[in-house]
Amino acid sequence: MPAAVRVLKHRIPAEAGPQLGVAGKQRVGWGFISLYTLAFMSTNLLFLPPLLVTLPLKVNTLVGIKDAPNSLALVAGIGALVSVLGNPFFGRMSDRTSSRLGMRRPWMVIGLVGGSLGILLVALAPNTLVVLVGWCLAQLFFNALLAALVAVLPDQVQPAQRGQVSGVLGICLPIAAVSGTFLVKLVSGNQLATFLVPLAVGGFFILLFAVVLRDRRLDKADRPIWSLGEFARTFYVAPRKSPDFAWAFVSRFMFVLAYAFLATYQAYYLLNKIGSAEADVPQQIFLGTLTNSVVVIAASLICGKLSDRTGRRKIFVFTASIVYGVAMFLIAVASSFNGFLVGMAIGGLGFGTYLAVDLALVADVLPDKHKVAKDLGVLNIASALPFSIAPAIAPAILRIGTGYGALYAVAGVCAVIGAFAILRVRRVR
């Protein structure tokens, strides 16, 4: 009997889920891990095709290649700011949700529906203003989904198993990137389909996981009192009280900033620096993503397990950031598509190692076990804000430096800074 069918058959009501603030006492099995991985992968599938391919090409279609970088900077930057606010806010709302359906499940469904409407608006947009509105709507609601889904890890998985599960989750982004760019390439003759097909595939597996999840329940009497001060604290964790959390935030911020430069401007890098034809860009992004992802998957699965066995997290994150920085420097000096592919392969080694261990490290340094979704939402600012900052400062770097080579050299420096920031974490080895 397939794992998904087995879980559905023996599904336990939400009341039987883990107690508030306490991970399940039993090790999670491969049925749970498989469905959680599919849902996590599908959430990446909602974000990545627009970010990597369809959103830049949509903007390019509307304004032309000369104005596209600045227009994309506006859309991506404001959308990322929306996600900076949306993720911790909806994480906090998830932590205080006392629905009969559980704490996380309602926000998964709400986030999927609202974000899908935003993507549809982007796909049908006649101008960049409508693209901006649609992308902000998508970022807001998809981050509600993401906040609830990420909180499932500390909710359900024991600390001793988090490296393994985090390592498996690490393959989600590369597989989603390959799958998403492949789906876009497959239907590239129909712009509406390039937006909606990945959305439909991802939405199915997210809803499947939402149905079978043994969600945490919160009694109404235990729900925190809502106040203006409580709302303000949604977006903040005091660095002096939680220095390890603060350094993990800085490290992730710098690493993701390096990735944001690559992901946001990959299409324009190929068009301008490598000299690719616009018709070839979807195929080239797919090949680059595929090359990167094969290495990411191998590194993630191996390093997540090694991290649990050795009991160490920091050395993996440090090494991953250094390797990723080297990859950015190689892409910066590449003069051909083959050189770009080499950089993407080396970047996959760093990125896969990072994805395998970073989430497990973060789960180990969360400040408050009763506010895991909120605190993970605050940490997600480090994943979202770079996608606002990168488009904001990239045009200046492109003008001052030597084009996209300078931009990716800056990305390499960011990754190296992130490596040294993680060494300041003390609570985990």
Residue 187: CATH number of its domain:
1.20.1250.20
Domain range holding 314?
29-214+239-422
Domain count of the fold of the chain: 1
Q: Please check the confidence at residue 228 and state whether its pLDDT lies above 50.
A: yes
Average pLDDT over residues 95-121: 90
Query: What is the average pLDDT across 124-129?
Result: 92
Which residue did the predictor score with more confidence, 238 or 378? 378
Q: H/E element holding 17?
A: none
Given a cut of 50, whether residue 13 has pLDDT beyond it is no
C-alpha angle 193/195/201, rounded to 5°?
Answer: 85
- The per-residue pLDDT of the chain, averaged, comes to 81
Which candidate, 378, 259, 381, 380, places its Cα nearest to that of 320?
A: 259
Position 118 in a domain: yes
405 against 377, higher pLDDT: 405
- Give the SS3 label for residue 13: coil
Residue 347 lies in a domain: yes
What would the pLDDT profile of 33-86 be if each residue is shown by its tens digit?
Answer: 889 989 999 998 898 888 778 888 888 888 887 788 788 888 888 888 888 788
Q: Which of 83-87, 102-106, 393-397 has the lowest mean pLDDT?
A: 83-87
Task: Answer yes or no: is pLDDT of 6 > 50.
Answer: no
Closest to 360 (Cα-Cα) out of 164, 142, 127: 164
pLDDT above 70 (res 17): no
The reply to whether 269 falls in a domain is yes
Separation between Cα atoms, residue 144 and residue 131, nearest integer Å:
20
The mean per-residue pLDDT over the stretch 379-402 comes to: 80
Is 270 part of a structural domain of the chain? Answer: yes
Residues in Cβ contact with 240 at an 8 Å cutoff, skipping those fewer than 6 apart:
none
Quote the pLDDT of residue 129.
93
Is residue 23, in this structure, part of any structural domain at all?
Answer: no
Tens of pLDDT, residue by residue over 171-187, are 787 788 888 888 888 88
As a whole number of angstroms, the distance between CA 20 and CA 257 comes to 34
Is 15 part of any domain?
Answer: no
**pLDDT given for residue 272 in this prediction:** 82
Query: Which residues, including other chains, have CB under 8 Å from residue 52's CB and lie 6 or more apart?
Result: 177, 180, 181, 263, 266, 267, 285, 289
User: What value does the mean pLDDT take over residues 334-342?
Assistant: 89
For residues 361 and 357, give the distance between their C-alpha atoms in angstroms, rounded to a whole number: 6
pTM for the full predicted model: 0.67
pLDDT bin (cut points 50, 70, 90) of residue 18 is very low
Q: Is the pLDDT of residue 238 over 50?
A: yes
Q: Does the pLDDT value for residue 299 go beyond 80?
A: yes
346 pLDDT above the threshold of 90? yes
Q: Is the pLDDT of residue 314 over 80?
A: yes
Bridge partner list, 102 = 99
Q: Is residue 225 part of a domain?
A: no
Amino acid (1-letter code) at residue 339 = G
More confident residue, 385 or 224: 385
Whether residue 300 contacts residue 167, with contact meaning beta carbons closer than 8 Å, is answered with yes
Report yes or no on 12 lying in a domain.
no
Residue 111 pLDDT more than 50?
Answer: yes
Burial class (CB in 10 A: 0-12, 13-18, 19+), 180: buried
User: Angle at CA 325, nearest 5°, toward 159 and 337?
Assistant: 120
Q: How many whole angstroms separate alpha carbon 252 and alpha carbon 115? A: 25
